[in-house]
Amino acid sequence: MVKMSLDPVQVMSGQVKELKVSPSSNGDSRGSWEVKEEFDQDHLGLTTKPKPVSLTKLRARKVEGGVFFPKPENAVTIAVSSRVLFRTEREQRVFEQEGVEEYLRFQIEHENEPFAPGPAFPFVKALEAVNNRLRELYPQSEELFDIVLVTYNHAHVGIRLINTINHHNLFIERFCMTGGSSPIGYLKAWQTNLYLSADAEKVREALSEGIAAATMFMSEKLTEVSQTQLRVAFDGDAVLFSDESERIFKAHGLDKFFEHEREHEDILLDHGPLKGFLEALGKLQKKFYAKGQRLNCPIRTYLVTARSAASSGIRALKTLRAWGLEIDEALFLAGAPKGPMLEKIRPHIYFDDQMFHVEGAAEMGTVAAHVPYGIAQKNNPKKSTSVGK
């Protein structure tokens, strides 16, 4: 099993050959990260090479279009922790071992050294690629992905974060630096559609407040992902749907589960914590469909479930259809491992409520995120399996 931890900023051994480290970095070495073009294209899965757009031109285009800051009610807001967007493991050690004052001093001393990309970096780059396409088709529209960087850091650390964002040519203008306080209240004010963090406790807090959220992980192996098409894969039960069917399986076994699903085939499943995020993705997809670009849509969604198609899959599909949601591809694995399928899909992120499946995905090189919701959280997460996943 691949090595993982709740702090996803692990060293990716054998996967950073394109990365050049010079004498003062934020990783285990002492040098600043110099990210070469090959790193962006290969390690982060930027397999195609679209024409580069400078950050200055991007900002200018947005100003001319009158859409510099989309209103939260119009945007699809993605809140990303600095610990999953960038690699901050060295800084985390300073904080844990030497305290907050030494940590702040360290950050100020190294504020001109950019952080290296973390597990959420390819996902954020893909969001920006979708935004570029949307601006081309709808120059005046505010229906875009809006990325908010969330950090517990003191405002002094903001300079290094801004320097890093500019270094990597990211378009992130909204910051939430809480100085150690919980960010959940701010996430609600931003009308956040998805929150990604390395802090499992804060993820659970967000979910309890009705905010779609997941804990991100990085494995030692990473699969290349597309630069031009955002790919998001979801588990079914306890992610898109409630854990109703999972509870039947846990309490009464496989036969009773199949019987329950047959009897309730025409009764919709209740919604799960990430249904709203899928809805938001679907809303943006339809903007491309309206321009005749269904076959060239830069957003693609996947359902990857351990349900079997004939005996229990029909209820899931009927529920999605009744909700008015489209899934581009649905894989009913009937209990087979998910990792090999995800390796073929190459999603930017995969959501599952069981660590067993998250670890299996990471072992095959997929950036996986844990949704700590439902009955599976009451069992041993590393040994639990599911028929309804």
| Terminal Cα-to-Cα distance of the chain (whole angstroms) | 20
Q: What gap in Å lies between CA 36 and CA 286, rounded to an integer?
A: 36
Residue 327 · residue 320 · CB < 8 Å: yes
The residue behind tokens 């699903």 is 261
Residue 134 · residue 144 · CB < 8 Å: yes
β 19-21/230-234 pair status: unpaired
Element of type H or E holding 64? helix 55-64
Q: Rounded to 5, what percent of the chain is helix, strand, coil?
A: 40, 15, 45
The low-confidence residues of the chain, meaning pLDDT below 50, are 1-67, 380-389
Give the model confidence (pLDDT) of 111-167 as tens digits: 999 999 999 999 999 999 999 999 999 999 999 999 999 998 888 889 999 999 999
Q: What gap in Å lies between CA 283 and CA 285, rounded to an integer?
A: 5
The beta strand positions in the chain, using DSSP E, are 19-21, 33-35, 76-81, 86-87, 116-117, 145-151, 174-177, 194-197, 213-216, 230-234, 299-305, 329-332, 349-352, 368-370
Q: What gap in Å lies between CA 210 and CA 41, rounded to an integer?
A: 36
3-state secondary structure at position 189: helix
Query: Would you list the DSSP string of 329-352?
Result: EEEE-TT--SHHHHHHH--SEEEE
Give pLDDT, residue 354. 92
The residue behind tokens 């050690």 is 93
Q: What is the maximal distance between C-alpha atoms in the chain?
A: 65
The residue behind tokens 């692990």 is 10
Q: What gap in Å lies between CA 39 and CA 15, rounded to an integer?
A: 10
Strands in 76-81's sheet, in edge-to-edge order, are: 174-177, 145-151, 76-81, 194-197, 213-216, 368-370, 349-352, 230-234, 299-305, 329-332
Give pLDDT, residue 379. 60
Give pLDDT, residue 138. 96
Number of H helices, E strands in the chain: 15, 14
Q: What gap in Å lies between CA 50 and CA 103, rounded to an integer?
A: 39
Which residues are annotated as catalytic?
Answer: 235
Which of 102, 113, 142 is closest to 35 using CA atoms?
Answer: 113
Give pLDDT, residue 119. 93
Give pLDDT, residue 309. 83
How many CB atoms lie under 10 A from the CB of residue 317? 15
The vertex-136 CA angle with 350 and 324, nearest 5°, equals 45
Put residue 324 in one of left, alpha, beta given phi > 0 → left and psi -120 to 50 → alpha. Answer: left
Residue 176 · residue 186 · CB < 8 Å: yes
How many CB atoms lie under 10 A from the CB of residue 62? 19
Q: What is the pTM of this model?
A: 0.80
